[in-house]
Amino acid sequence: DADVTQTPRNRITKTGKRIMLECSQTKGHDRMYWYRQDPGLGLRLIYYSFDVKDINKGEISDGYSVSRQAQAKFSLSLESAIPNQTALYFCATSDQGAETQYFGPGTRLLVL
C-alpha cells in the first residue's frame, strides 16, 4: 500500500466551484505539505503544517485554504476555483529532523 495517498487523482470542475483535495499518510510523519506543479515552474509550496495545531502559508497561498484534521490527514481547499488554478497538486510528508520528503501520486485538477 502507498504511504502517501491523494484523492481524487483527477478532477474537472467549473469556475467558482468549491473543491477539496485530500491527502492521507501512513508514515506517522508530523510534517505535511501541499505543492502545485506547473510546467517550467517546478513545485511551489502552498501551505505546510508541522503538527495538528500548526498551519503555515507557503509561497502561493492566496485562493487556497487547508485543514489538518489529524496527524495523518491534510486537506487542501479551493473555495472558489479559477482557471489559473489548473495544475498538478502534490501532497508530501516528512518527519521532524528528517532529510527528505515523501510525495503522493498527485491530483490533476482542471478548472474550466
Partner 1 sequence: GEDVEQSLFLSVREGDSSVINCTYTDSSSTYLYWYKQEPGAGLQLLTYIFSNMDMKQDQRLTVLLNKKDKHLSLRIADTQTGDSAIYFCAEIYGQNFVFGPGTRLSVLP
Binding site for partner 1 (CB under 8 A): 4, 33, 35, 40-45, 48, 50, 58-59, 90, 92, 99-106
Which runs of consecutive H residues, i.e. helices, occur in 1-112?
none
How many angstroms separate the CA atoms of 88 and 64, rounded? 14
Which C-beta is closer to partner 1: that of 28 or that of 105?
Answer: 105
Which C-beta is closer to partner 1: that of 66 or that of 104?
Answer: 104
How many angstroms separate the CA atoms of 52 and 28, rounded? 12
In angstroms, what is the minimal distance from the CB of 39 to partner 1?
9
19 close to 13: Cβ distance less than 8 angstroms = yes
Which C-beta is closer to partner 1: that of 19 or that of 35?
Answer: 35
